[in-house]
Structure 1
Amino acid sequence: MEDLCAAIDGLAGAGLASAFGPELLERLGGLLVAQHRIAAEVARTVRACELAGAAEVDGLKTMASWLRGHGRLSPSAGAGLVRAGRALEHLPALAEAHAAGAVSAEAVATVAPVAADKNLAAAAAAGVELGEIDRLLTGVAAARPHADLVQVVRHYLAGLDPDGPEPDPTEGRRLSLVRHADGTLTGRFDLDAAGGEKLQAALESILQAGRCAGDERTRPQRQADALVQLCDTQLAAGTLPVLRTVKPHVAVVINAEDLVDPAPGPGAAELGFGATVSAARARWLACDGAVTRIVLGPDGAPLDVGRTHRVVPPHLRRAVERRDRGCVFTGCTAPTHWCDVHHLLEWALGGETSLANSALLCERHHTKVHHGFRVERQPDGAWRTWRPDGTEIRIPQPLAAA
């Protein structure tokens, strides 16, 4: 690894300003091959970690969760690496081409469904020679445009069981949301015909009810507004499932000064899922909401969260969520609504139900802490985690430094 880092440092130190186009393209081609080869080693190592149960060393259940917490990867990227590692194990020709730099990680991700358990079983039942399919797909991935590979893989998967039972419509449903730096969301979804019909029926009712003269919004704009209105209606109805003793709601955190100041105050308020909005938008949301006071001390930790009326009451939970922002177990990325409020010193042993004695832990890590692991909040507010043998779980230094 030291040699690899040194080689990359040498490449990064080379000047490119005076290089000509052909020279730059030759360099880029070599870098792409190297990128494919490194990606192959990453996927192979992820698979080895998965087989060895390595994530458990750091108190995590899967390599996908380890890659999210310790590798700083998105959920989709982490899951993709796990799938790639599994696929390469079943497709040796593809693995060899990937390791040689002839096939990209994107191509491997496209072929990976071929090696999914259900598709391997279907291929075996149909008498398909997987080795031949492996060589065919590898050839397409290495020599043809990516669009051709997508089409060939789709054709193969569709032909595995053309006369089988109709698939479960829920298996193909997907919804992915990406939050940008300014708090806006971009999404993609895939719905089966029946699910799509339900969504269209709900949105269309709001669209038609909101039609009025002079409305210059485009249909995509009106559909987006209808989706937000649909959420407003459901949240206001109060019939959605309760999240950890708290009804789902739009949470906004803002300083009292910004709340009463008429200035726009850009970036002055923080929403429950981490986005930031202006003070003006927060005041707009507060027009139809309840206000909870949270008094903060000099270090930013909540001091006074209102009345105490039962064990971990909602107002105390809100304070813990505000402070911890999610599971505090090192490497875990579980959001607040997946978490329990844990007593650092157990209540049965005299521990108080207070902010200082509380920590947010997801269900898995709450169990871990009650079976030998330990979390502790430092004077600077940082959380640290220790294994039962007393060694500390740490984020790998190169990644932490990066």
Structure 2
Amino acid sequence: MRHPPDALYADVRDTDPDVLDADGPTAHVGRLAQLQAWLDAEKVRATRAQRRLADDGRAVPPEHSLARDGKTSSRDAKATTEREAVCTAMPGFEDALAVGAVSAGHVDAVASATKHLDEAETAEFVGEAESLLADAEKQGVDAFTRGCRELAKSIRARHHSRADVDELERQREQSKVTRWVDQTTGMHHTHIECDPLTDRQIWSAVQGARGTLRRSNQQTGTRCSWERLTVDAIVEAVSSTGAKARTGMVVHIDLPTLTDGRHDTTLCETDSGVSLPVDTMRRMACKADIIPVVLNGDGVVLDEGRAKRLATHEQRVAIEAMQATCSHPDCTVTIDDCRIHHLTPWRLGGRTDLADLAPVCETHHHLIHEGGWTLTMTEERVATWTRPDGHTYWTGSLNDRRPIAA
């Protein structure tokens, strides 16, 4: 395809977004995305041609041309060259990109996942091109990125039994803290880069402190933003010592994996959905206090009725066992940074019961309370988001825990 579909181009050219109403802007954004995908496919073709010329000594490398003539950053230029390499190895993705069936983000997810694979591992990954393309055509970029990452990890694990453990050790060695001051705003920044296990230890402490502070604020009537509350919780967590600072870390791992090791549908991840090495977690479990969570079981009182205004720790653990992110279908904010929301407002008689609780991030919490949107949920935790005009935006299961391939 050497030019965009005439009807698509005409629709984009002749549409005035300022006069659209109802679902008009949504449809227009979809057409723009389709046109952008075609442009990205053309850029892939141009990059490939530039590379051939550069190999013959008749042109500059494509990275230089993309940065200078394409008026893009060196980082984006590098991403485009990686995109071209993926499309060359998996031409089905290039064809799908040209017709808008996938986006450049889907192609970039493949590039990112295969970046650290060796030749044999990459060949095995490319061998899954057909099923990967089918997934890309029906999944959003975030979900597809996670799937590509897990496929790459499972391939590495098959080729190298200690691959995931070695990766964790590499991340530990590269962990660092960077501090700087923004000279324009005067705000101080502290940036921590660390491995997944260290991150969970940090945020388990922060999450515990934040819950304590929020309950205290609730009792005293103190109001502050979620962002300020989180900052205060970090200060509280790093200021604590001894027994007060001791916190737990929640890891979701299925029993067969814990007892016998990795299998075809292994699940081993943090409460925020980050995969962890199975061997490492099995070793840690030898010294850990293991608290099994069986949903709808009798081990913990999960329903608090109206005795408590805020969700209990046990309820949050139970919710985390079912989902890792905000309940909005387009949101990837991890459950760490979500409020536990009463589907039936507390002021209207809502109960602090598991069946009436769902995690939502600050943005979507405002969307419900100030934006007029409605979130409802069945006993099977099938949620429905409804716009203020009564239109059903999305219906689906909130359970986003998925086993990963062996």
Identify the TM-score tier after normalising by the shorter chain: 0.3 to 0.5
TM-score, structure 2 as length reference = 0.43
TM-score, structure 1 as length reference = 0.44
**Greater Rg over alpha carbons, structure:** 1
